[in-house]
Structure 1
């Protein structure tokens, strides 16, 4: 079974301002040259007095975030280190999702871990090694995040992990120039999206492009399509029941969600613009799938915010640029279901210095410092100063996450048992796009659910 780490996850960005006294300079952890030092907020060390004297203390933190993305994390820890005298020891590991369980079960966990899935968090809690979050952390989460986010860090009624970064999946990429030249409007409802699709198809082109090839993880983009439609057609409560298997995978609601995705993905008049027929969706890599937007052979591509990194160097990603994205609408204009992912800071120690650092990571202070030294990172922390975001796609993501109408739900396959979420779901979705019926697909996935 392929590791869930194979399925791309990325969070997005913004910046803020804080107090006075200490300026910690850092640079971007991204791959493009970018001097972020000028954007580093000024941090008042007085706010760290609550943590006491931590000089000479060390806190270890373990994550799946490796070079070069890890630099933005280590830079964001500098205010805590400089103001408290503590040392943060960061360790990034591509095998994190396997090794953190091994280490926890062996009694050799780090002080803190950045956990990318609620399902993995639950597994870690099951080892008996995870500590409940300090009251200060819980209070910060109540203040800065919505109840849905706190729920994902809670297991059996006990709160363990504050949210960290976040990512947005409910997006459709498009060409702003094509929309302007043809008088197209960004759709506000699913019906309007289908009307726009028909209007584009009437001009003799296949408007949508898609690709699901991803090595052992082939098929995962369809899981996102289905989850988005499950959330839109049936609402957040039914979505939650479906993810937890209170609603069977082969239920009428589930089949309807996959069929809704199929209205686009399996319609030969709609796909696969610039790439081939419907079956070419299975052989086109997800990295290449949206590129035909740039040459005009495709107009629409549903993919997460991280997809911005797949366009060639020099591509302007903005509302007035070569390519941009709009929110995948709900059934009506007032509904704002939002599918995404995120990370959680989980502690395996309750030493004072660990509690102090864990608390810092749950503050608006850290959120704004982290955003100031990052490209392609954002958080659902309401203390984030979104007005300081310079990257347009990051700002779009931040605005969506902070929209009071938004109803956020975590990626469903990342919460399901591995035999389903990162195995049967991927494989059966691939069979579905190449001709297997919806009912057979959902039946096969249901049969894979652990008894």
Structure 2
């Protein structure tokens, strides 16, 4: 869900991205939630399971080291010449120098594409759709959807007017769409593009029952903290490497007269991302997988430890812009923009979220790598966390035009167009590095591709929608309540477990 994440930024946590475990896959076949569990394929991954199970912590450590190195390199390479304030929609060749994807002529055809994207993200995606129209002659209409998108699609299906293609932000949503009979398998051309351009892991998370239903058009690095460089300079603050360092940096920023953190608490998913990074680093990959599958309860001591750690920031007086009440009234986009407006006296000095925050930063005219910098989410435990997410194109109304559009979205051509516009990260390994508008983004993209199949997906996106993907319900609401009262950890755990047990069908 949401979208992306650098000392700058370049570090692409995706590189360090925690690998997604295959054990989630087994569960995924039996429950909607596990369907988000996705993280590995439903079939033909048996051979990998034992290897992944024994190498989780090692992989995370290596990834974290690579991530930190990449970030450092990216920061030194950010320059004005790399900036791109508009990009282009020109067709681009494959990264390997081959020909562009071949698309059929679709004169007179029309189709609808639904996604939850808004603002700059929606605007940039429409430029990709415009290129598809130019090449095929088809007419494409973007349909703004609401969260949770599965409910939105359900109403459209019930009314007999489903969009032809939908961009789904959770693996579980793909399985749910398949189980309901809405989603249609991808055809030979789209599948061919995926095989040529994506690692097996990214192909597998779009599969249900061994069939390819989703093409992951977009990825996200959700383990970054962006900061106002001028605020840090004035305060004499430095980029933290550990949670303890982060608390120290926050105090330094506070002492300089600026509130340390901006939190977009009106959007519950931002709070789940905070929790996931702390939990993954502190409890470790194995526990992360178990909690994602509800194999351990939210009343587990590891959850208590993570919530207690979060309270060191959420519960600290004057550490969050506007306090808890203000944060709960602040949507994600505003949480970013208010960090980079107001000169050296913004409402906050730092804001946590993924690489996609670049789109909102751009709206403030702050220059990434100079005015707006980024560092990896600090290590809370032994290693720094790396959490990823993404959006997959799924066909709901099968037709030649719909298949052609998903084929296009699975190609380097489409991804290259949006990469040039900024604020976007593609798991497509054949998108040329040069397509990304600055060194920070290029480094992040390289790290993502280099990670191959070693990544862990957003935990809430793996959960049943009722628990991990619905405004005002489940984990979103319970963490909002916890932000409002971070002192009552036990009550927060009990409420989280009650909501999880109900959503997971009483299992776990």
Query: Contact 1:227–1:339 at 8 Å: present in 2 too?
Result: yes
Pair 98,432 (structure 1): closer, same or farther in 2 beyond 3 Å: closer
Query: Contact 1:205–1:297 at 8 Å: present in 2 too?
Result: no
- The one of 223, 246, 263 equivalent to 2:295 is 246
RMSD, matched Cα? 3.9
Query: Contact 1:367–1:383 at 8 Å: present in 2 too?
Result: no
Separation of aligned partners in 2, 1:406 and 1:337: 16
Separation of aligned partners in 2, 1:429 and 1:246: 20
Query: Contact 1:249–1:443 at 8 Å: present in 2 too?
Result: yes
Separation of aligned partners in 1, 2:86 and 2:474: 44
Separation of aligned partners in 1, 2:257 and 2:388: 30
Pair 179,110 (structure 1): closer, same or farther in 2 beyond 3 Å: closer
Pair 138,229 (structure 1): closer, same or farther in 2 beyond 3 Å: farther
Pair 138,445 (structure 1): closer, same or farther in 2 beyond 3 Å: same
Q: CA deviation at 1:342?
A: 2.1
Q: Are 2:384 and 1:357 aligned? A: no
Query: 1:76 — aligned with what?
Result: 128
Matches within 5 A, 1:50-61: 54-56=105-107, 58=109, 60-61=111-112
Matches within 5 A, 1:226-245: 226-245=275-294
Task: Judge which range, 288-297 or 229-238, deviates more.
Answer: 288-297
Q: Are 2:316 and 1:267 aligned? A: yes
Secondary structure of the corresponding residue to residue 163 of structure 1: strand
Deviations 1:287-309 (A, max 9, x none): 55563674167433323344455
Q: Are 2:473 and 1:426 aligned? A: no
Separation of aligned partners in 1, 2:333 and 2:124: 24
Separation of aligned partners in 1, 2:161 and 2:347: 53
Q: CA deviation at 1:399?
A: 5.0
Pair 40,149 (structure 1): closer, same or farther in 2 beyond 3 Å: same
Query: 1:188 — aligned with what?
Result: 241
Separation of aligned partners in 2, 1:206 and 1:69: 30
The two structures have a TM-score, normalised by structure 1, of: 0.75
Deviations 1:240-291 (A, max 9, x none): 33223222222222222222222222233x713xx46566544556555563
Query: 2:69 — aligned with what?
Result: none
Secondary structure of the corresponding residue to residue 428 of structure 2: coil
Task: Give 5+ residue unaligned stretches, structure 1.
Answer: 1-7, 15-32
Query: 1:9 — aligned with what?
Result: 2
Secondary structure of the corresponding residue to residue 383 of structure 1: coil
Q: Are 2:142 and 1:91 aligned? A: yes
Matches within 5 A, 1:6-155: 9-10=2-3, 36-37=87-88, 40-42=90-92, 47-49=100-102, 54-56=105-107, 58=109, 60-64=111-115, 65=117, 70=122, 72-77=124-129, 80-83=132-135, 85-95=136-146, 97-104=150-157, 108-155=161-208
Secondary structure of the corresponding residue to residue 295 of structure 1: coil
Pair 231,92 (structure 1): closer, same or farther in 2 beyond 3 Å: same
Query: 2:349 — aligned with what?
Result: 299
Q: Are 2:430 and 1:437 aligned? A: no
Separation of aligned partners in 2, 1:122 and 1:73: 24
Pair 281,87 (structure 1): closer, same or farther in 2 beyond 3 Å: closer
Pair 399,192 (structure 1): closer, same or farther in 2 beyond 3 Å: farther
Task: Judge which range, 430-439 or 295-304, deviates more.
Answer: 295-304
Pair 140,55 (structure 1): closer, same or farther in 2 beyond 3 Å: closer
Query: Contact 2:121–2:359 at 8 Å: present in 1 too?
Result: no
Query: 1:22 — aligned with what?
Result: none
Query: Contact 2:263–2:332 at 8 Å: present in 1 too?
Result: yes
Query: 2:305 — aligned with what?
Result: 256
Query: Contact 1:171–1:325 at 8 Å: present in 2 too?
Result: yes
Secondary structure of the corresponding residue to residue 368 of structure 1: helix
Secondary structure of the corresponding residue to residue 386 of structure 2: strand
Query: Contact 2:222–2:273 at 8 Å: present in 1 too?
Result: yes
Pair 207,359 (structure 1): closer, same or farther in 2 beyond 3 Å: same
Q: CA deviation at 1:346?
A: 1.0
Pair 192,316 (structure 1): closer, same or farther in 2 beyond 3 Å: same
Query: Contact 1:209–1:299 at 8 Å: present in 2 too?
Result: yes
Query: 1:386 — aligned with what?
Result: 433
- In the alignment of these two chains, the number of paired residues is 412
Q: Are 2:414 and 1:366 aligned? A: yes
Query: 1:209 — aligned with what?
Result: 261
Query: 2:373 — aligned with what?
Result: 324
Query: 1:20 — aligned with what?
Result: none
Task: Give 5+ residue unaligned stretches, structure 2.
Answer: 11-83
Secondary structure of the corresponding residue to residue 338 of structure 1: coil
Query: Contact 1:114–1:346 at 8 Å: present in 2 too?
Result: yes
